[in-house]
Every structure is written in C-alpha cells, then in structure tokens.
Structure 1
Amino acid sequence: MKTARTIAVVDDEQDLRQSVSQWLQLTEFSPVAFESGEQALEVITPSFPGVVVSDIRMPGLDGMALLRRIQSVDPGLPVILMTGHGDVPMAVEAMHIGAFDFIEKPFDPERLVDICTRACERRQRTLESRDLRRELADESVAVRRLLGAHASIAALRDGIPDMAQADGHVLILGETGTGKSLIANALHACGPRSQTPMVTVNCEAIPGGQLEEMLFGGEAQPGKPLVDQAEGSTLVLENIEAMREGVQARLLELLNAADQASAMPNPRNLRVIAISSRLKQANAPGYGMRDDLFFRLAGLVVEVPPLRVRGEDILTLFTHYTRQFAEEYGCEAPVLDAADAANLLQAPWPGNVRQLINLAERSVLQTLRGEQNISALLIDDGFQAATVSLDSERPLKEHVEAFERMLIDHALRRHRGSVASVMAELALPRRTLNEKMAKYGLTRQDYL
C-alpha cells in the first residue's frame, strides 16, 4: 500500500500555490498543485494516498464547497483549509462539518507541516484499516494468512471454506498463541455472513455480571447488546471457558431457541464461534463449560496444532516475520545459521506463533543494533539452547550427524523416552530409530 504523503494543494493564486508546494516538497511530502477545486476533484478518489490543503476563498468551487464534495467521495479524507483573517468563523463552521483543521494566513510554514503530518498519519491509518477489512472479506487472502506447509495447517486451509459455508456453530480449540482468532476471522470471511461485521468478545477479560449484560442487555448496558449487534452475523466468544454457568445457560437457551425458529415470533439468526485454550479437556469435569453447551457448540470442531509439532513451519514463519519486521524497521533481516535453526526447531514454544512473532521482532531489533544472537534470545525466553558446533573445518557429514543427534535427543526428552511417540514425530521406522539411537549413544532409560 502507498504511504499517505501526497498533499493536494488547491489555490487559485499561483504564487501561494507554488510556495506552499515547494515548502512541502522540502519536508519530504509529495505535493500536487491545482488551481481550482474542480481540477482537484478529478484525481481525488477513496484511495487517494494523502490529504487536501485548500484555500477557503476561490472563484467557482470554494473551499467549503470542495470540502462537502470531498466528503461525498470519501468522508475519511482529511481536508485542511487556509483562511484569511476574516474567514475564521467560516473555518470554524468547516471544522463542524468535518474539516481536519484550518490555518490562518499568513502562517508559519512549520505549523502547516505539523498539521499535514498529523493529517497524513490519520489518512494512513484509515487506508490501512480499509485494506485490513478488505483482506478479511477476501476469503482467498484470509485463508492464505494461515502460513505453513505442515499437514495439519494444509488441512485447515483446505477445510475452512467448506466449514465456513456450512454456517454451523464452531468450537476452535488450541493452545494460547496458535492463531485461533485468525481462524475465526477466516471462517467468517469465507462464509455467507462475510458482508456483515463480526462481533468479538473476550469472556475472560470481562467480569461475569458485566459480560451477561454486554451479551444480553441490562440496565447498566448502554447501546445494543452484543447478541443484537451480531444478528445476521458471527459472534466470536474468546476464552468461553471463563463464562460463568448462568451466562452459559442463557447462551444455550438462545441457541436452542434459534433452532426452533418456526415457533418464535422474532427468531435469532447468528453464528457462534467459540474459542478455548483447553483442548480436548473441554468437556471434562472442572473444565468450566456445561456439557450441554459444549455439545451444542461442537457441531464443528477445529483443533489448531501447537507450533512445536509443525517442524519446518517454524523456520518458514520465523523467516516470514523477520522479513516483515526488517522492512518495517528499514534494515536487513537476520540470517539463520545452523545453530539458530536447530534451536528454533527444538524450542518448546509455550507461547506458540505469538511468541515466535515476538522473537522475530526482537531479532530484527538486535540486527538493527549490529548484533545477531537468536539463540541468546531463546535463552532469555527460558529455553536452554542446543549446542551445535559450527567449526568450518568440520566436514558436512559431522554437522548433519550433530543436528540429527540433537533432534532425536530433544524428541526423547519431550516424550520421556516413549519410542513410539518419537517414531511418530520424526516419521522414522522403529529399526531406523533404534540404529540411530545406538549410533549416537542414546538409550531410552536415560529419558524415563
């Protein structure tokens, strides 16, 4: 997306138009000059990558009329008006109509630059927000945001469009930071309700009584209850296990009533996507969710795999996010060496993808300071880094063997000596695993 640094300078006086344009150009804006409002309107569209600075008094279409015309094209496009001393009341009226700001002539050029900077920042946020909404409404983009080649992620990408069209309630299960909210967004974006705004609430962040009023309405709840806001759309309930039982009972009643729509005068029409970090213990005693509500929501269940089981996806994601942050910070992305790659692959990742994104940003900031020690950042996160020698005089075969031994060692540690689990994780037949364990001096008893 283009950076919003374009300034449309509109003034019928050539000298002022040129001087303002020259000053803005010196301060790294991209001015485009117009001698009339009519000319400016020929290039102003909802995607215009900047703001408008216009004189308020001009023949033909004056500044006030131009402001109104621009608002009809794009209400989110900031307009700054230049006024003479006697035009201040008119400029104040323009602010009420929706002008971003006004500046009185003769003005300090630095003040104009400051106003343009703030206006461009607002314009940038507006355009980015629109891009994001378009992205979430584009099912192909929404699904592509599920990065990775691991079989479980590939199956998710393939299955989301079908699950979205089914339009039933969904229960998304997975550890914290695995991307459950992203999947909820993709399900909404790919479904028949995609043209309506999705409504999301974090049940864990809101006290029980307040949550009940937010969802269903009450004396202390201003505005429409969330179930009304989600009418015809999707209601996403994050951390649903934190919802107290009385609120769960009301939610179950609402969902059951929706199934009996023919008997209801004003039936509900909403899809619920519930998100939980409790995985397969979701309906176990003490979980916190009523069994009947669990089974009501679990018509479609999506289990999101933890990052630590996704193999080379870890390196793919890390590379993707370091490049993204490097572009943002204007520096080179860090280059992984064998030790870094080994440690990333073997880290336990309790915070999953969210933790990886955080680590990627910190590694880019490290590179910005002229340093690179990704393994040290992992140690800061509480992971004991593996020791992988990178002695350039060692032959490649020894590097490969050291890396292979480390993979098997860490797998045995994670699975506490369960050979069957290690075979499944590393996709090795028993005989091959036994041979490699013997070769590297690894015995099952050491991990029990």
Structure 2
Amino acid sequence: MSDAGRIMLVEDDEALRHALAQGLELDDFAVESFVGADAALARLDRNFPGVVVSDIRMPRVDGMAMLRRALEIDPALPVVLITGHGDVTLAVEAMREGAYDFITKPFAVSALAAVIKRAIEKRRLVLENRALRERLDASTDLESRLVGRTPAIMRLREEISAIASTGIDVLVRGETGAGKEVVARALHDFGDRAKGNFVALNCAALPADIFESELFGHEAGAFTGAQRQRIGKLEYAKGGTVFLDEIESMPLDLQAKLLRAIETRSVERLGSNRQIALDVRFIAATKSDLAQAGNEGRFRADLYYRLNVATLAIPPLRERREDVALLFFHLAREARARYRREIPELSPELEAELRAHDWPGNVRELRNIADRFVLGLWRGFGTAAGATQGAAASGALADRVAAFERSVIEAELRRSGGRMRPVYEALQISRKGLYDKMQRLGLTIPEDG
C-alpha cells in the first residue's frame, strides 16, 4: 500500500472503527485507527500524504474540534466527517469551515471509499504542487532552468556559471524557441545584478517609430504626443540587465545609437542634451549569424564585435535527443502544477516518438506539447507526409497506429540518411520486420537499404 492511500480513521465506536478499517483495507487503503482525536492530531503534520476520516459525535474532542485543529496544521488537508442523520446541519456547517465532505450513517464502505479516493487524489496534487513550488522558489541550481544531461547542455550551464557574476556583455545564439531568454534570465539571476531589474525588449515586436523612445526615453514635448517625460528601458534597468531579443531586427540607425550607449555606458533622452549614466549589463540574443549579416551590411559589424564579448550557443533540441524525455517530463510537471491535472502515463512508445521528432520549434514546441499532453489534448505528431495532427488524432484505432508508426519510421530514416540498418536497430525490430512495415505503410525502401 502506498503513502498516497493513507487514512487516519478517528472513531470512538470500537465495532464501527474495526469494520470501517477492515473494509477500507480491503479497498487497498493503509488505515491507521484512533479512538480519539488527540492521539490522531499528535501524529498529524503538514506533509501527511492522506486523508483524515472522523466521526462528529465523540467524547472530549469532537469532530468539529478535530476539523479546526487539523486545518490549523494544514488548511489544505482533506477531512471527511461521518455524521448521523441528526448531524447533517452540523456537517454542512463543517463544510463551510473547510471539511472536504461528509457521509451520513448508515452507509456502505464502498460509498466512503469513493469519497476518500477523490480526497486522496486532491491531496496528492496539493502536496506535489507544493513541493514543486518550494523547489522552484528555493532553487539556485541551473539544472532547474536548463534541464538536460547531454554534454552540450552541461557545457552551457558551466559557461553561464563562469560568466554570470563577471558583468560582461553577452551574445546568446540559438534557434527560435531554444530558450534564449531562459539563458539571459539565468545570467541575471545567478549574477551580481540579481536584485536589479531584468528588462526584456523584443526588437522585432516594436514599431520603428517608437523604438528609439522605448529604448532611450524622452522628455515632455520631444515630439508630437510626448506629453510627459518617459524613462527609457535602458535607464529603467539601472543596476540590472537589459535583454535585447532578436537584435538582428533593430534598425541600422538605432544600432549606431545603441553602440554609443554600450560604449559610453550613458544614454540621452530624446529632447534632452543631458547624459545619464547607465549601470547595466547588456545581453543580446539572435537566431541569425550576425557576423555574416555584418558582412552583408544588414547589421553593424562594430556593434556585433562590441556585443560579442562572450557568446553562448544554445544547442537545438534535435541535437540533444537524449534530453527530450527528461525535459518533457519536467515541463509536464510544470504543466500539472499550473492546470492541476494528473500527468498521463509516459509510455515507451510516446518516448520513442518524442525522441524521433525533429523539434523545429525546440523547447517552446516541446512545452506546448507537454501542456496539451497533461490536458489530454495531444494525440501525436501525425505523418511527416502532410497529414495534420487533427487528422492523425481521429479515425479508427488502426489508422492512428499506422500514422504513428509511419511518423516514427520516417523520422528515423531522416536521422540515418536513408540507411536501413540504423533504423531497425534503433527501433529494435528485425530487418525483415522493418521492410514489411514499410511496405504495408506505403513507405519507399531505399535501393541501398
């Protein structure tokens, strides 16, 4: 019997206590029986992984007092009360005070067990969500931010640890959805500027006509519509970090002004001639090759070299497939805490499908799928030949299984460059078995396979 099935049963009637304990144990609950509330309360703590079941009418400490004292220990503790017919009004009052539920005598043990099962599920979610929040709140470990065990992600964590407290400007490179802002926030949070502001600015999302004002601020009357003084993002980040995401999208004329601000560590608001000192760290992020963009005149080479004091490269998810299942489960746990849902079983077939996928959207795509998985809305990737996810998730079971098999085999063929041996070895089936499946699924067998 697991801790998740523990019950504290408080009942002064010996015959009823014995019958309830026996019936609940037959239902696979671990039952600890008590004659009175005092002994039970002495064993209760905030981490009790189960449910309290108590009679209302008891000598000395009755069920209502038991409820109040139990909720003082943990307001989220499920307490189920056993009532007589004359105690229903009292039981309703107890519900208002925080009881999970009540059950009226006489009752079948199965009816009580059904209530307890729901309460235990709620208790398990409360404790797991509480533990997750506590770990996240107390964590100073980069592994909770950048999950993975592959050499590339371990090296990235080491590089962040090495430069977080140096204050040097950093360029973060990575594909869309790879986690560039996560890296930037880690550099901020684990460095000496953690108590300062972290100011994020998406250079691709700001219209060009307000970009300069957002970055540098303006004085009242600096232009039409500037009715009041505005503090710019750079100035607002005093003592902290400025994160410039998608910096390759910044207009060239503003790149020159940004370069000056970085070099002089000062800023001049629009409409003012006064220089304001900046105490900030600059972190820029890009999915492009800025050196090549500089050679082609699409990005200022001098700004690139000024930002490129240190470069952190985030590996795409497809290059660290060994991390996918671990990261997926981590994201699913976060989704469970947000949505208060149980995580469905992560089967070996699902893990194989996750590892075989190419992840063009990287961690962002994986997070979306983890959310849908926890919400019960995800049915697989569908086929690589163009079937939509919705189509793959509908139809007969045989069609869905075929769509899944096709997608996994196609993904493995892409990974192996069309060579058959790595495919049937990865899928742990025979060569003939793979050939038969490919013929049945209408997949082309490479001539040199």
TM-score (norm 2): 0.55
Distance (Å, rounded) in 1 between the aligned partners of 2:361 and 2:6? 41
Q: 2:419 aligns with which of 388, 399, 408?
A: 388
2:314 alignment counterpart: 305
- 2:13 maps to a residue whose letter is E
Q: 1:96 to 1:332 in 2, by over 3 A?
A: same
Q: 2:359 aligns with which of 349, 358, 380?
A: 349
Cα contact 1:146–1:157 (8 A) shared by 2: no
Q: CA deviation at 1:382?
A: 12
Q: CA deviation at 1:282?
A: 4.8
Cα contact 2:168–2:281 (8 A) shared by 1: no
Alignment of 1:372-411 (within 5 A): 376-378=406-408, 384=414, 386-390=417-421
Distance (Å, rounded) in 1 between the aligned partners of 2:22 and 2:175? 55
1:17 alignment counterpart: 17
Distance (Å, rounded) in 1 between the aligned partners of 2:200 and 2:91? 46
Q: 1:362 to 1:150 in 2, by over 3 A?
A: farther
Distance (Å, rounded) in 2 between the aligned partners of 1:193 and 1:74? 37
Cα contact 1:169–1:300 (8 A) shared by 2: yes
Q: 1:348 to 1:42 in 2, by over 3 A?
A: same
Distance (Å, rounded) in 1 between the aligned partners of 2:125 and 2:419? 44
Cα contact 1:176–1:352 (8 A) shared by 2: yes
Q: CA deviation at 1:350?
A: 0.8
Distance (Å, rounded) in 2 between the aligned partners of 1:25 and 1:114? 13
Q: CA deviation at 1:147?
A: 0.8
Q: 1:352 to 1:56 in 2, by over 3 A?
A: same
1:75 alignment counterpart: 75
Per-residue Cα deviation, 1:266-310 (whole angstroms, up to 9, x for no partner): xxx9x678584x3x525356999x969x97886235755242673
Q: 1:274 to 1:50 in 2, by over 3 A?
A: farther
- 2:149 maps to a residue whose letter is G
Cα contact 1:363–1:372 (8 A) shared by 2: no
SS in 1 for 2:178: coil
Q: 1:391 to 1:43 in 2, by over 3 A?
A: closer
SS in 2 for 1:122: helix
Gapped regions of structure 1 (runs ≥ 5):
195-231, 260-268, 395-448
Alignment of 1:242-257 (within 5 A): 242=205, 245=210, 248=214, 253=232, 256-257=235-236
Q: 1:379 to 1:306 in 2, by over 3 A?
A: farther
- 1:387 maps to a residue whose letter is G
Per-residue Cα deviation, 1:101-155 (whole angstroms, up to 9, x for no partner): 222222343432332222222212211112212322222374485213334x234
1:130 alignment counterpart: 130
- 2:14 maps to a residue whose letter is Q
1:329 alignment counterpart: 345
Is 1:7 aligned to residue 7 of structure 2? yes
2:226 alignment counterpart: none
Q: CA deviation at 1:355?
A: 4.8
TM-score (norm 1): 0.55
Q: 1:128 to 1:285 in 2, by over 3 A?
A: farther
Cα contact 1:171–1:275 (8 A) shared by 2: no
Per-residue Cα deviation, 1:354-386 (whole angstroms, up to 9, x for no partner): 55685999789x9xx997998732577899563
Q: Percent identity?
A: 32
Cα contact 2:7–2:52 (8 A) shared by 1: yes
Q: CA deviation at 1:156?
A: 2.7
Q: 1:377 to 1:43 in 2, by over 3 A?
A: farther
Larger displacement relative to structure 2 (379-388 or 138-147): 379-388
Q: 1:273 to 1:110 in 2, by over 3 A?
A: farther
Q: 1:309 to 1:349 in 2, by over 3 A?
A: closer
Q: 1:11 to 1:378 in 2, by over 3 A?
A: same
Distance (Å, rounded) in 2 between the aligned partners of 1:389 and 1:382? 9
SS in 2 for 1:45: coil
SS in 1 for 2:360: coil
Distance (Å, rounded) in 2 between the aligned partners of 1:374 and 1:329? 17
Cα contact 2:244–2:284 (8 A) shared by 1: no
Distance (Å, rounded) in 1 between the aligned partners of 2:116 and 2:193? 39
Q: 1:131 to 1:233 in 2, by over 3 A?
A: farther
1:204 alignment counterpart: none
Q: CA deviation at 1:348?
A: 4.9
1:66 alignment counterpart: 66
2:37 alignment counterpart: 37
2:109 alignment counterpart: 109
Distance (Å, rounded) in 2 between the aligned partners of 1:383 and 1:355? 22
Q: 1:182 to 1:281 in 2, by over 3 A?
A: closer
Q: 1:190 to 1:391 in 2, by over 3 A?
A: closer
- 2:283 maps to a residue whose letter is L
Q: CA deviation at 1:162?
A: 6.0
SS in 2 for 1:103: strand
Question: For this pair of structures, how many residues does the alignment match?
Answer: 330
1:317 alignment counterpart: 323
Distance (Å, rounded) in 2 between the aligned partners of 1:387 and 1:35? 71
2:49 alignment counterpart: 49
SS in 2 for 1:329: coil
Q: 1:86 to 1:320 in 2, by over 3 A?
A: same
Q: 1:322 to 1:72 in 2, by over 3 A?
A: closer
Cα contact 2:9–2:52 (8 A) shared by 1: yes
SS in 2 for 1:178: coil
Larger displacement relative to structure 2 (21-30 or 351-360): 351-360
Per-residue Cα deviation, 1:311-352 (whole angstroms, up to 9, x for no partner): xx32x2246469999x9627556897xxx99x95xx753122
Cα contact 1:348–1:383 (8 A) shared by 2: no
Q: CA deviation at 1:28?
A: 3.0
SS in 1 for 2:103: strand
Distance (Å, rounded) in 2 between the aligned partners of 1:99 and 1:188? 44
